[in-house]
Amino acid sequence: MRGTRNLLWLLPLAVLCAAPLWWPRAAAFLRPRGNFGLAEPATEDQPRTFAMHQVTLSQSRAGVEELEIVARRVTTPQGESHLEMEEVQAVLFDRRKQPTRITGGQASYDSAAQALIIRDHVTVSSTNGYEMTTASLEYQSTARRIATRDAVSIVGPAIAVQGQGLRYDLDSGDFQVDGRVKVNIR
C-alpha cells in the first residue's frame, strides 16, 4: 500500500515539472480567436481622425467671406490640418464679392499652407460667362490665385481657348494660359 500512495503523488509532480513543455500549446489552444470588435486605445503619437457628411466650410478674412466649400464627405486621414473631401463645390469670392464657382470630384485642403487642391473633372465658372475645365487645379488662399499644369479648355462669349497650364488671379480677373495654346474666336 505504501508504494501505491507514493506513486499517486508522483503523477502531479511529473505534470508540474513537464509544464514548460505542454503549457504554451495548451495556452494557444485555449486562447480566444478573433478581436471581437475591440478597438485598441489611441496613443498620443497617433493623429486624431474624423469623417463628416454633407459639410459646408467657409473661410473669411477680416470679416469678408473669401471661400465656401460644400462637400458630400470630409475626412482627416493625416491629422486635423489636412482635409480630404468628396464631391466638392467651392465658391471663391473676389474683392467685389463676385463668385467664381468650382466643382470637382475630390479635393484636399491643407489649412497650414492654406491650399485647396481640387481633382477629378474640375469645372470653373465665372460671373463674366467663362467656363474652364481641367483635370485638377490648386487655389492658394494667401495669393488668391488658381493654377494648374494640366490641359485646360476655356469657353467664353465668342471665344474658345485650349492650352497646357493656367494661372488665374482672382482679384484682377487676369488669366494666363501656357503651353501650346489654341484660340478659336467666333
State the residue for C-alpha cell 464657382: 101
For residues 57 and 68, the answer to whether their CB atoms sit within 8 Å is: yes
Q: 14: pLDDT confidence band, cut at 50, 70 and 90? A: confident
d(CA 64, CA 93): 9
For residues 163 and 180, the answer to whether their CB atoms sit within 8 Å is: yes
Looking at residue 127, its pLDDT comes to 81
Looking at residue 122, its pLDDT comes to 92
Looking at residue 118, its pLDDT comes to 92
Q: What is the pLDDT of residues 35-70, one digit of tens each?
A: 666 566 555 555 567 788 888 888 888 888 888 889
pTM of the model: 0.68
Q: 19: pLDDT confidence band, cut at 50, 70 and 90? A: confident
Range scoring the smallest mean pLDDT among 104-108, 110-114, 118-122? 110-114
Residue 59 makes CB contacts below 8 A (sequence gap 6+) with 65, 66, 67, 68, 141
Mean pLDDT, the chain, integer:
83
State the residue for C-alpha cell 467671406: 65
Residue 85 has pLDDT above 60, yes or no: yes
Looking at residue 39, its pLDDT comes to 60
Residue 4 has pLDDT above 80, yes or no: no
Q: What is the pLDDT of residues 164-173, one digit of tens each?
A: 998 988 778 7
Q: 136: pLDDT confidence band, cut at 50, 70 and 90? A: very high
Interstrand relation of 64-75 and 82-93 (parallel, antiparallel or unpaired): antiparallel
CA 65 to chain centre: 23
Structural domains for the chain = 51-147 (2.60.450.10)
Residue 96 has pLDDT above 60, yes or no: yes
